């Protein structure tokens, strides 16, 4: 079966203004990287918009209405010091969530082995009732709950290797034991969450990394902490919050990974999916702010998905 690839031109319309790191050029870099002959076999799809009912899987209706009401009709608006929005932000955010939902549907129906969603805005910082950290809707948490509530799965796992801890997704794991959340991330660092494992919450695994950590530290955290916990949970679907800002060239952090590390992690997560989820895995873009590093890392990540 092929690897599905979801994206949409509307993601460029989420305009964050001059100098903002989460900018449209990120998507252009990803698109260019996935246009080469190595990626001709990808099944390409346009991301649909998530409905209000879809968004309600991760956010109260009042939050969705308030966020939509806060979008400017021209120029820019600020939801917090980091999270800038424009008139095109609402449709882009709906399609970001919609892409991951559609990818989950395709994979669970057996029409694709796995999927990658090139989306923006990212999602893993978005709390159920609060946008933050460039994120409006929590794309992966919504898709995980879609798999649980609408497809009837009993266990869904999210692995987040973005350099920033996905506080919003962790909130959902704390609320729902059917959702496993694991994260490797720089600590102490934004958003100030993600302390090491809380034994009282067995479906939550945090493996913080020190500034300056590289391949050896990251792979050790995965092999000693994350992967054994994932295998014990035995997910029926694996989701990846695929942030590539732990790359050594990224300007927003101080972890020193490279493309080979992301490819290695992807392969290891595919092994988990093969063991308990019939290989079913969906990945969604989160961070990554050096354009060349982002493009190379996404290409390495997707090559592994296509080879599985």
**Residues that are catalytic:** 125
CB 161 within 8 A of CB 246: yes
Residue 281 near residue 238, CB atoms below 8 Å: yes
Residues in the chain: 308
12 alpha carbon, distance to own chain's centre? 18
Identify the burial level of 73 via C-beta atoms within 10 angstroms of its C-beta, where 0-12 means exposed, 13-18 middle and 19 or more buried: exposed
Query: Quick one: which of 129, 202, 201, 204 has its CA closest to 166?
Result: 204
The alpha carbons of the chain give a radius of gyration, in whole angstroms, of 17
Helices (H), the chain: 24-33, 52-55, 61-70, 89-108, 139-149, 167-175, 215-221, 227-233, 259-276, 291-307
Provide CB contacts within 8 A for 35, sequence distance 6+: none
């Amino acid at each position: 079966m092929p690897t599905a690839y979801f994206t949409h031109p509307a993601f460029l319309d989420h305009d964050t203004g001059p100098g903002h790191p989460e900018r449209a050029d990120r998507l252009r870099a990803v698109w260019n990287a996935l246009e080469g002959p190595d990626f001709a076999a990808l099944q390409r799809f346009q991301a649909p918009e998530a409905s209000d009912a879809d968004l309600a899987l991760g956010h109260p209706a009042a939050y969705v209405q308030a966020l939509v009401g806060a979008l400017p009709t021209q120029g820019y608006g600020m939801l917090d010091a980091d999270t800038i929005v424009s008139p095109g932000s609402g449709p882009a955010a709906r399609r970001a969530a919609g892409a991951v939902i559609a990818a989950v549907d395709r994979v669970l129906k057996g029409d694709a082995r796995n999927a990658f969603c090139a989306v923006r805005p990212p999602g893993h910082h978005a709390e159920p009732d609060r946008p933050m950290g460039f994120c409006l809707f929590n794309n992966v948490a919504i898709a995980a709950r879609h798999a649980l509530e609408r497809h009837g799965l009993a266990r869904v796992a999210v692995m987040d290797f973005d350099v920033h801890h996905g506080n919003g997704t962790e909130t959902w794991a704390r609320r729902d034991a059917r959702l496993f959340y694991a994260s490797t991330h720089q600590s102490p660092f934004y958003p100030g969450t993600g302390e090491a494992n809380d034994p009282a919450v067995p479906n939550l695994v945090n493996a913080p990394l020190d500034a300056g950590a590289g391949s050896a530290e990251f792979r050790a955290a995965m092999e000693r902490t994350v992967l054994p916990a994932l295998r014990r949970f035995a997910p029926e679907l694996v989701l990846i919050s695929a942030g590539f800002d732990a790359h050594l060239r990224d300007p927003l952090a101080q972890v020193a990974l490279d493309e080979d590390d992301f490819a290695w992690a992807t392969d290891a997560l595919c092994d988990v999916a093969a063991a308990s989820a019939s290989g079913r895995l969906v990945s969604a873009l989160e961070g990554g702010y050096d354009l060349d590093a982002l493009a190379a890392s996404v290409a390495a990540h997707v090559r592994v998905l296509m080879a599985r």
